Amino acid sequence: MRYRAFMIILAALLTAAAPVALGRIKLAALPERERVEIQLDNGKYTLVEEERIVPLLRSGKTNNMIDFSWSNTAIDKNSILFRPVAVREGGKFRPVKLIKLADGTKVPEINVINVAYPPNENALVWEVYAADACACKVRVSYLIANLTRTFEYRALADKPEEFLTLRKYMVLHNYSGEDFIGAGVWAGFGPKFQKEINQLDDLKLRIAKFTQVPIDKTFTFDWYTHGALNPAKPLASKILMHYRLTNDEKNKMGEFPLQPGKVRIFIEDGHGGEAFLGEDWAALTPLDDTMKLYLGESRDIVCTRIIESNVRHNVRGNLHNQEIVIKYEIENFKDKATTLRIVEQLNRLGQQYFGNTHGDVEWEKGGKTSKGIRFDYEFGGATPILLVKLPARPTDKDAKVKKVTVRFHVTLKNLW
């Protein structure tokens, strides 16, 4: 059953003497909505703004009483604003102007005198002064609950996984109890839409499409986060695959921060179709930051980590340095050269071999560190990332995959 459009009735009560009569029996004109805007730029609150043309009588014996009521909608009563913005004159609207009273004071020609709230009703009554009878364009704004938005993404990578197309969607969920016909919808960025969204509807709108976004596909080995791969390979660990997309102009994005949301990742299959690669939750990605999308585990790169040497050097008393050489043996069975990111959590290394490191370890790179390793400090000084280049598997079908062996020589200093 289609949910009935719940009423938000704006009634200009043109009664003469008793505007709020016993039992609230009303003779009401029902001005239609001329325009509705749904503002979703605030993540916590949704603002609805509607514009209506209200006929007003000249304030003579009484002011105009405008009754605004609603039912089955979660309008925040304390947020409702009534703003007269224009007056119709000669078929056109002009801004509300100030008029001068006999004593020289100026008041708006349309002026809200007060607001009264009846008991046990979702309603309020504005007492509105009008210098002359007119048709007044008013904006009524209010916060409404259960009209929310979430964000979703769809990423389509090309077959070589060099570029992708990222589409960003806003999904409107309308459980507010109200139908919005021809509503302007704006997320705070991107285009403004003119849409119809009825009660219980979910409306998915594409708000951005970024094409030719370069993909940085990474393979990450992190021993202390994932531990041993399996009992058969106690020194190997998982290799996690990610797409890293940088939200900047150079990478064909950088228009606005990317909001958190689910990302579904597809890849072109080379036959005009697509294959699903997986999905991940994207975190808020400010401009110039990187969105990391987890794709799963790679089985085509194998890395084992061996503590090749572990030597203690006394300094004084119980103070000592610990010199460690970690050897990594890596095989790349992929047909493409790549770079493996090895995350070494030196605080965990210290805790494993000596116990309390008393905070972040002090460390020094040793001379036995392989020359080909580049270092990155995305996670801070105590968690270096070793970047190791791996050649593609040999094209010669008889040739074996070359095992790349690198060493990280580290001295953890001043331990006790």
Residues in a beta bridge with 27: none
SS3 354: helix
Residue ranges in 79-108 that form contacts with other proteins under rule CB under 8 A: 79, 81, 85, 99, 101, 105, 107-108
Pick from 29, 30, 118, 375 the residue near other proteins by CB under 8 A. 118
SS3 381: coil
Strands 290-297 vs 274-282: parallel, antiparallel or unpaired: unpaired
* CA atoms of 388 and 400, how far apart (whole Å): 20
Q: Going residue by residue from 350 to 369, which x/- string records binding to other proteins, judged by CB under 8 A?
A: --------xxxxxx------
Pick from 1, 2, 16, 23 the residue near other proteins by CB under 8 A. 23
Q: Going residue by residue from 185 to 224, which x/- string records binding to other proteins, judged by CB under 8 A?
A: ---x------------------------------------
SS3 78: helix
Pick from 28, 53, 171, 287 the residue near other proteins by CB under 8 A. 287
Q: Does 230 bind other proteins (CB under 8 A)?
A: no
- The stretch near other proteins (CB under 8 A) out of 164-172, 236-244, 286-294, 326-334 is 286-294
Query: Minimum distance between the CB of residue 107 and other proteins, rounded to whole angstroms?
Result: 4
SS3 247: coil
* CA atoms of 107 and 188, how far apart (whole Å): 34
* CA atoms of 231 and 1, how far apart (whole Å): 57
The residue among 383, 382, 400 whose CA lies nearest residue 391 is 400
Residues in a beta bridge with 148: 173
Which 8-state DSSP code applies to residue 348? H
Query: How would you label 23-38 residue by residue, b for 16+ Cβ within 10 Å and e otherwise?
Result: eeebebeebebeebbb
Q: Does 116 bind other proteins (CB under 8 A)?
A: yes
CB 137 within 8 A of CB 181: no
Q: Does 288 bind other proteins (CB under 8 A)?
A: yes
- The stretch near other proteins (CB under 8 A) out of 2-10, 147-155, 348-356, 376-384 is 376-384
Pick from 7, 33, 39, 74 the residue near other proteins by CB under 8 A. 39
Nearer to other proteins, 30 or 319 (CB): 319
Pick from 381, 391, 403, 405 the residue near other proteins by CB under 8 A. 381
Q: Does 140 bind other proteins (CB under 8 A)?
A: no
Contacts with other proteins by CB under 8 A: the residue count is 73
Q: Does 22 bind other proteins (CB under 8 A)?
A: yes
Assigned token pair, 84 = 């007269």
CB 415 within 8 A of CB 321: yes
Query: Minimum distance between the CB of residue 344 and other proteins, rounded to whole angstroms?
Result: 15
Q: Does 115 bind other proteins (CB under 8 A)?
A: yes
- The stretch near other proteins (CB under 8 A) out of 3-11, 44-52, 162-170, 208-216 is 44-52
The residue among 142, 133, 119, 151 whose CA lies nearest residue 49 is 142
* CA atoms of 292 and 215, how far apart (whole Å): 10
CB 76 within 8 A of CB 142: yes
Give kind and range of the element (H or E) at residue 148. strand 147-157
Q: Does 319 bind other proteins (CB under 8 A)?
A: yes
Assigned token pair, 124 = 């309020």
Q: Does 310 bind other proteins (CB under 8 A)?
A: no
Pick from 129, 294, 353, 354 the residue near other proteins by CB under 8 A. 129
CB 19 within 8 A of CB 10: no
Pick from 33, 88, 93, 139 the residue near other proteins by CB under 8 A. 139
Q: Going residue by residue from 47 to 66, which x/- string records binding to other proteins, judged by CB under 8 A?
A: x-x---------xxxxx---
Query: Minimum distance between the CB of residue 95 and other proteins, rounded to whole angstroms?
Result: 8
Pick from 1, 230, 318, 398 the residue near other proteins by CB under 8 A. 318
